[in-house]
Amino acid sequence: MNLEEAAVATLTVRKSAFGTILFDGRGRALYGFTRDRRGGPSQCYGACATAWPVQYAKGALRAGPGVKQSLLGTTKRRDGRTQVTYNGWPLYYYVDDVRPGQVTCQAVDEFGGLWLVVKPNGQLVR
């Protein structure tokens, strides 16, 4: 896969200090939030969504190599926008992860739950 293909993929996988985990097509790490219920809507709004920006769905969802297309999905947010999910978990970025491949907030307890990176099989890394 070349860089252009990776940039348009909704999700990709790469190696990290926490094993092989999900990233967006530009290499930014994605997190799940244990306060969310798998298969349910997001519980992260306001200050939470400022610190943990939502991965919004833009067009068709596309699985990169190592990502299971069948686990990609969406959930509606209160404002009507569509958030990307993986294995039912709404996905988020961390505001201070600014470089591709950077994971600076794994297993942080904030806003009533743990923030955990996501494995390609859809499980949260604990």
Rounded to whole angstroms, the Cα distance separating 126 from 25 reads 24
pLDDT digits (tens, 9 = 90+) for 79-100: 999 999 999 999 999 999 999 9
**What is the structure's pLDDT at 59?**
87
Rounded to whole angstroms, the Cα distance separating 26 from 48 reads 23
Average pLDDT over residues 35-46: 96
**What is the structure's pLDDT at 75?**
96
- Read off the pTM: 0.93
- b/e per residue 94-113 (b: at least 16 CB within 10 A): beebeeeeebebbeeebbeb
Average pLDDT over residues 32-59: 96
**What is the structure's pLDDT at 2?**
40
- Measured on CA atoms in the order 78, 108, 18, 122, is the torsion positive or negative? negative
Of residues 3 and 104, the one with the higher pLDDT is: 104
Contact status, residue 78 vs residue 40, Cβ threshold 8 Å = no
Contact status, residue 13 vs residue 23, Cβ threshold 8 Å = yes
